Amino acid sequence: MGNRQIVKVLTLDDFDLKGKTVFLRVDMNCPIDPNTLEISGTRRIEEAIETLDSLKEAKVVIGSHQGRVGNNEYIGMDKHAKVLEKLIGRKIKYVEDTIGEAAQNAIKNLQEGDILLLDNLRLCAEENYEFTPENAAKTIMVTRLSKLFDLCVLDSFPSAHRSHPSIVGFAQVLPACAGRIVEREVRNLDEIMTVAKAPHVIVLGGSKIPDRLEAIKLLIQNGRADHVLLTGLIGNVFMRAQARIKSPMGIKREEEVVAKAHSLIGEYPDVFATPVDIAIDKDGERVEMDVREMGKGDKIYDLGPKTVEYYSKLIAGAGTVFISGPAGYFEKENFSYGTNALLNAVANSMATTIVSGGHLTTALRQQGLVDKINHISTAGGALVLYLTGTKLPMIKALEDAAIRYKSK
């Protein structure tokens, strides 16, 4: 992991924050229980507290997205407001609006020390599209709301790879700085990347397949992935590409992603490792089998022990390990084995270690392994992309804002 991303951004320490109205973009995109629609992991809400503590004398307007339009996790932010209020022990005002009159009035009425949480920013259609920074600055969201703010604080590292209006637009027209999470992530990752040694082992699970495929190629091309050990849904996609899973799995854009995985395997035949055995759910019971023994309709919920042994050996020989995304349906006790075993292998290796994503962060905590890891981040896709050496849109927006601010 060679080249450093030298980052020159402003931080909260560069501004007099007293009495200022601040737009704070955080990432409170939390796992949501599909049955109850309750928040099932609050880690990303907890993370907002450090920056909020630094903004105690300001009037703070928090914006975040939650889920994607049309998926199970796409809900309003009212529950987040309650969780944050409990965790921080301060009143959190909440408005069921993003850019309309209700939101604008709520912002205008803020007093010093107040915190207001806006509703899910993706309720505003614009926030679901990628823009150039210049065009993001012209969106209705940014033109309407920026008039009410003195400063933009960007702290949503997990969504730093999105060029949505709230992430790159406000920073074009307002003074902008990094919040505490972004400041720390970038500093730590930058330090780690300068000392990181080969072989680089990437353990990749998770479900956002198109994002993952794009990042894998860049990681390999940039010398950051000598071995890619695949788990979770992305592992299944590669097993279909190898024709080891025969029937369609019913995932979005399946043929397209399988074709991409197929061409990656062809291009880099020695890099990828896929599971040899797995566990499926049979009437609530865990049943382990070789991948070749799977029947039509069997759903893979976890890795089997042979795969864990095989992957653990590669992890033990690594100079740097990056693990992102659970290895299976780890929320179900019966199927948490693979995720927990791989995390243990990572924690006990001699390598420099990075653990990424909300699910793995939670699993690490549950197992008391936090102190054995060099860097832990709730970011998933953004962190994978950062490690490829790509300049993330949010970081670029912050750097450009710093240049503009200093040249004034």
Give the interface with ligand 3PG as residue ranges (CB under 6 A).
27, 29, 68, 158-159, 162, 208, 380-381
- Which candidate, 398, 404, 401, places its Cα nearest to that of 157? 398
Minimum distance from residue 177 beta carbon to ligand 3PG (Å):
21
- Count other Cβ atoms within 10 Å, centred on residue 13: 9
290 forms beta bridges with 277
b/e string for 368-405 if b means 16 or more Cβ within 10 A? ebeebbbbbbbbbbbbbbbbbbbebbbbbbbbbbbeee
The residue among 59 and 122 lying less far from ligand 3PG, judged by its C-beta, is 122
The residue among 314 and 398 lying less far from ligand 3PG, judged by its C-beta, is 398
- Which candidate, 281, 10, 254, 47, places its Cα nearest to that of 156? 47
C-beta nearest to ligand 3PG: residue:
29
Minimum distance from residue 345 beta carbon to ligand 3PG (Å):
24
Minimum distance from residue 360 beta carbon to ligand 3PG (Å):
12
The residue among 162 and 396 lying less far from ligand 3PG, judged by its C-beta, is 162
Alpha carbon distances (Å) from 291 to 166, 259, 277, 296, 306? 44, 20, 5, 12, 11
The residue among 27 and 114 lying less far from ligand 3PG, judged by its C-beta, is 27
Q: What is the DSSP letter of 294?
A: P
- The tokens describing 356, both together, are 């990424």
Minimum distance from residue 74 beta carbon to ligand 3PG (Å):
9
The residue among 67 and 305 lying less far from ligand 3PG, judged by its C-beta, is 67
The residue among 149 and 157 lying less far from ligand 3PG, judged by its C-beta, is 157
- The tokens describing 368, both together, are 């008391």
Residue type, 205: G
The residue among 27 and 302 lying less far from ligand 3PG, judged by its C-beta, is 27
């919920």: which residue's tokens?
301
216 forms beta bridges with none
Minimum distance from residue 243 beta carbon to ligand 3PG (Å):
29
- Which candidate, 38, 380, 365, places its Cα nearest to that of 233? 380
Minimum distance from residue 68 beta carbon to ligand 3PG (Å):
5
Cβ proximity of 292 and 246 under 8 Å: no
Minimum distance from residue 128 beta carbon to ligand 3PG (Å):
9
The residue among 79 and 162 lying less far from ligand 3PG, judged by its C-beta, is 162
Minimum distance from residue 383 beta carbon to ligand 3PG (Å):
9
What span, in angstroms and rounded, lies between the C-alpha atoms of 240 and 34?
27
